[in-house]
Structure 1
Amino acid sequence: MEDDSTSITGGVIGSYAAVGDSFTEGVGDPGPGGTFIGWADRLAVLLSDQRPEQDDFRYANLAVRGRLLDRIVAEQVPRAKELGPDLVTFCAGGNDILRPGSDPDDVAERFEAAVADLTGGAVGTVMVCTGFDTRGVPVLRHLRGKIATYTAHVRAIADRYDCPVLDLWSLRSVQDRRAWDSDRLRLSPDGHTRVALRAAQVLGLSVPADPDQPWPPVPQRGSAEVRRDNVQWAREYLVPWIGRRLRGVSSGDHVEPKRPDLLPLR
């Protein structure tokens, strides 16, 4: 039987390794036993479903929450090369861009060096991810210019190395509040699902739903209610987040990758 699970470049995808931080680990999309699912796990399911023999599909998720680009490059990129999968998704640099004083041009140079390393022949297709458009996110909207600059760099790097792009900036559906977890820093389960669907589209797969389909309408909230929510969010999430960064503490300091090996998905 012919296998129709193919990448954007036409090669068969029988194995997939995800590289990155909390976004790729799946934080915000809770699973059983305190684990997380996330868009990469959901993409792996979609890839597996395209194969006639689903049990032969293998998947690794090397991502760890809180990781900065240099640590991702030092720890996860060599492991991805060692595993040698048909597909790698490389989403990194976002935590660096959010740090005060960071230079998106410098981060992009280091990101490009890692892309050059990954595309040197050890793995198959390398899909890279842009940043999200943060115009509707309190506090983070002020970093929109830096994020846009980094996103432009990522797209240019993808062009130079012939990488498919998971363009999160243009995914309008994730600009809705319901696409985000209560901390407004990580995606909700619905948000992760929509990103997985878009990633599958980028790879040329048929998907069961449109990732950009409109959300159901909700009642309009008053400005006073919005302000109260913003204040509560700042106290519960923003202040502790800033405090961790000032102390040099990461949420992933004692976290290991959830799927360090290429194993059958099912």
Structure 2
Amino acid sequence: MPDTDAAYSRYVALGDSQTEGLGDGDDVTGLRGFADRLAEHLAHANPGLSYANLAVRGRLAAQVHAEQLAPALALRPDLATVVAGVNDLLRPRFDADHTAHHLEAMFAALTTQGAHVATLTFPDPARISPLARPLTPRVIALNERIREAARRHGVTVAETGHYPVVTDPRLWSHDRLHASPIGHQRIAAALAYTLNLPGTDDTWSHPLPPPATPAPTGWRAATDELRWTATFLGPWLTRRLRGRSSGDGRTAKRPRLGPVHVETSEPRSRGEQVGESP
């Protein structure tokens, strides 16, 4: 159910690659992502909204806490999104309590200063790629701790992982780790709805129209899995074994509060507009 219908003037996004916007645009033309899309929706309801995005790809929850919380507090947001933990899930020595500790510390600091904080839970990756099945218990454990921490601090939680639509490959980029433009649009719509922004409804959780071509099966599906492993999973594991990150040397794309450009039309938030057009 929607959580609040408060007005906002300063929105700050903290997180990793999803919040930065990987999968929605590129480093040449520019990244958009769910946080940019949510900011656009907020700006329709809150003229004069200022927005900053402190997220950097590859960051663990502890790094988001150490690097982004203090700058976020200095910007004095009245709305903040905190989305992190997936990079922790993928590490060999994942500790759900350790990851949740850093998320809760950010929840506590931001809400104590007066910000309304929103976050989300993560889908089971095994529903997206069978090779990710060993991660299922980790996702369940982290999601439960996110819910518990959110309850303690009055944080809004968008339960994006509950719905069958999250398994639709059209919501995911080719690497299966980052949302596609449609996926980012759905995440933004879920947060907007949970925040009870004007013009929102629950159609973000509805299935997409049937695909033009059926999903591959049999040998073709197995070939796709092997190609994904060689193209995306293998290089990712190699970077981790070498102690490297995709975010090495990178800084936030939008570290200061600034105005949000919005189209003259209303943001897409109803019906299949949420899932059809990026």
TM-score (norm 1): 0.91
> Of residues 93, 96, 112 in structure 2, which corresponds to 1:101?
93
> Of residues 13, 21, 26 in structure 1, which corresponds to 2:8?
13
Query: Structure 2 vs 1, CA of residues 209 and 42 (structure 1 numbering), >3 Å: closer, same or farther?
Result: farther
> Of residues 28, 31, 34 in structure 1, which corresponds to 2:29?
34
- Map of 1:1-266 to 2, 5 A cutoff? 8-30=3-25, 33-51=28-46, 54=47, 56-121=48-113, 123-136=114-127, 137-205=129-197, 206-207=199-200, 210-218=203-211, 219-266=214-261
Query: Structure 2 vs 1, CA of residues 220 and 255 (structure 1 numbering), >3 Å: closer, same or farther?
Result: closer
Task: Give the AA of the match of 2:178.
Answer: R
Corresponding residue for residue 4 of structure 1 = none
Kindly indicate whether the alpha-carbon contact (under 8 Å) linking 2:5 and 2:195 is maintained by their aligned counterparts in 1.
no
Kindly indicate whether the alpha-carbon contact (under 8 Å) linking 1:21 and 1:66 is maintained by their aligned counterparts in 2.
yes
Kindly indicate whether the alpha-carbon contact (under 8 Å) linking 2:193 and 2:201 is maintained by their aligned counterparts in 1.
no
Kindly indicate whether the alpha-carbon contact (under 8 Å) linking 2:34 and 2:187 is maintained by their aligned counterparts in 1.
yes
Greater CA deviation, 205-214 or 153-162? 205-214
Kindly indicate whether the alpha-carbon contact (under 8 Å) linking 1:24 and 1:39 is maintained by their aligned counterparts in 2.
yes
Greater CA deviation, 201-210 or 125-134? 201-210
SS at match of 1:115: helix
State the Cα distance separating 1:8 from its structure 2 match. 3.7
Runs of 4+ in 1 over 6 A off after TM superposition: none
C-alpha distance in structure 2 between counterparts of 1:33 and 1:222, whole Å: 35
Number of equivalenced pairs = 256
C-alpha distance in structure 1 between counterparts of 2:12 and 2:163, whole Å: 23
Percent sequence identity over aligned pairs:
39
State the Cα distance separating 1:77 from its structure 2 match. 0.7
State the Cα distance separating 1:109 from its structure 2 match. 2.2
Kindly indicate whether the alpha-carbon contact (under 8 Å) linking 1:181 and 1:187 is maintained by their aligned counterparts in 2.
yes
Greater CA deviation, 144-153 or 215-224? 215-224
SS at match of 2:126: coil
Task: Give the AA of the match of 2:34.
Answer: W
State the Cα distance separating 1:11 from its structure 2 match. 3.0
TM-score (norm 2): 0.87
Query: Structure 2 vs 1, CA of residues 32 and 135 (structure 1 numbering), >3 Å: closer, same or farther?
Result: closer
**CA displacement 1:106-125 (0-9 Å, x = unmatched):** 2212322222222222x410
C-alpha distance in structure 1 between counterparts of 2:201 and 2:24, whole Å: 20
Greater CA deviation, 217-226 or 96-105? 217-226
Structure 1 unaligned regions, length at least 5: 1-6
Task: Give the AA of the match of 1:126.
Answer: V
Query: Structure 2 vs 1, CA of residues 62 and 215 (structure 1 numbering), >3 Å: closer, same or farther?
Result: same
Greater CA deviation, 57-66 or 125-134? 125-134
SS at match of 1:211: helix
Task: Give the AA of the match of 1:44.
Answer: A
Query: Structure 2 vs 1, CA of residues 114 and 32 (structure 1 numbering), >3 Å: closer, same or farther?
Result: closer
Kindly indicate whether the alpha-carbon contact (under 8 Å) linking 2:4 and 2:194 is maintained by their aligned counterparts in 1.
no
Kindly indicate whether the alpha-carbon contact (under 8 Å) linking 1:133 and 1:168 is maintained by their aligned counterparts in 2.
no
C-alpha distance in structure 2 between counterparts of 1:40 and 1:226, whole Å: 33
**CA displacement 1:187-225 (0-9 Å, x = unmatched):** 100100011101100000123781122222232422111
